[in-house]
Amino acid sequence: MLEFAILGLLHRSPMHGYELRKQLAEVLGGMRSISYGSLYPALKRMRAAGLISTDEPDPHALLPADAPPLTGRRGKVVYTITAEGKERFHELVGQTGPEAYDDGGLFGVRLAFFRHTASDVRLRILEGRRRTVEQQREGLRSSLARTRERLDHYTLELQRHGLESVDREVRWLSELIDTERREASGTSGAAALPDPPDGDRSNPA
């Protein structure tokens, strides 16, 4: 998830880790932040994988037994996406399997970078997400119906509030889907007919 987000942000322009974190927090809706304890290890992994590169060749290399007053000497590091990273990003952007929408966190990131995503892929992801959330809603509904009278006031309120939130999310997704369908039929018309006979519902891995 972090990998996707970082690639998406660096796709626009190179950045410091610090700036990356701020933009990340903003793009993620502000409520879900990201800590340095996740960010820097992720950057390290991605650098090792060749997806991004740094201007500073290596912050911790080549200092045999130099001047002791050189205690920290921390240099600023600018991260840049590589050609391989861009390739990886566009590969990830094309994914439409359950992993793209089952996890709410990843789904949020996908949504934040939807302008890099083809319209038919967008539609598949939105519909997948709606299916997932609808299933959550049904589980919640039946659970609530089963245990309604055994619950005290606060537990009941918690369940009720949760159910309402999920319900609102389904409606929100439905609006997004409607808009997407309208836009798609207006522009290309091939990828998204208003109502194809059924569609397969399979996930192309």
Residues that bind its own copies (CB under 8 A): 26-27, 29-31, 108, 111-112, 114-115, 136, 139-140, 143, 147, 152-155, 157-159, 161-162, 164-166, 168-169, 172, 176, 179
Decide: residue 194, CB within 10 A, 0-12 exposed, 13-18 middle, 19+ buried. exposed
What is the contact surface with DNA in residues (CB under 7 A)?
Answer: 1-2, 16-19, 22, 32-38, 40-45, 59-60, 71-78, 103
Residue 169 CB neighbour total at 10 angstroms: 17
Strand partners, 52: 81
120 and 92 Cβ atoms separated by less than 8 Å: no
| Residue 171 binds which of DNA, its own copies, none (CB < 5-8 A, kind-dependent) | none
Q: Which helix (H) or strand (E) holds 18?
A: helix 17-27
14 makes contact, choosing from its own copies, DNA, none, with CB < 5 to 8 Å by partner type, with none
For the CB of residue 188, give the shortest distance to DNA in the complex, in Å. Answer: 34
The distance of closest approach from Cβ of residue 12 to its own copies in the complex, given in angstroms and rounded to an integer, is 11
Query: Would you say 33 or 143 has its CB closer to DNA?
Result: 33
- 80, β-bridge pairs: 53
Rounded to a whole number of angstroms, the minimum distance from the CB of residue 154 to its own copies is: 4
Question: Which residue type is seen at 50?
Answer: G
